[in-house]
Amino acid sequence: MLMAALVGYAMVFVAAECAVIVALIRGLRRGWQQREQGAGTAARAAMSSGLWGTLTTAAVVPWILRKWLLSAVKDGRARAWLERGEHWLASHDDRGQPN
């Protein structure tokens, strides 16, 4: 369970970073399209609410997951998850099944 949580955290972090990159590219494109109407208009178009929402989400979601994982490690729940995983692997290994 702990490994699945860590892999899930990594996937969420990568997805959040990709979302930020996409939002930045879209913002730059919008700003470039509005450049003829002035610098202020171009800046407002580039810094849309979608960009700010994406940046906020990309910052908050991994932070929440990291806090949850750290609390699981501190509370000892992570040890129980690891022991269950080791027990499951050992029981499958005893039967001669591949891991």
pTM above 0.75, yes or no: no
Lookup: tokens for 84: 């269950």
At 29 the pLDDT is 85
At 61 the pLDDT is 84
Spell out the per-residue pLDDT of the chain, length 99, in tens.
Answer: 667 777 878 888 888 888 888 888 888 888 888 888 888 887 877 777 778 888 888 888 888 888 887 787 777 777 777 777 778 778 876 665 554
Task: Give the Cα separation of 76 and 81 in Å (integer).
Answer: 9
At 90 the pLDDT is 80
Task: Give the Cα separation of 48 and 29 in Å (integer).
Answer: 12
Give, as one character, the DSSP assignment of residue 38. Answer: -
* Contact yes or no for 45/31 (Cβ under 8 A): yes
At 96 the pLDDT is 58
Q: How far is C-alpha 31 from the geometric centre of its chain's CA atoms?
A: 27
For the chain, the structural domain boundaries read 2-94
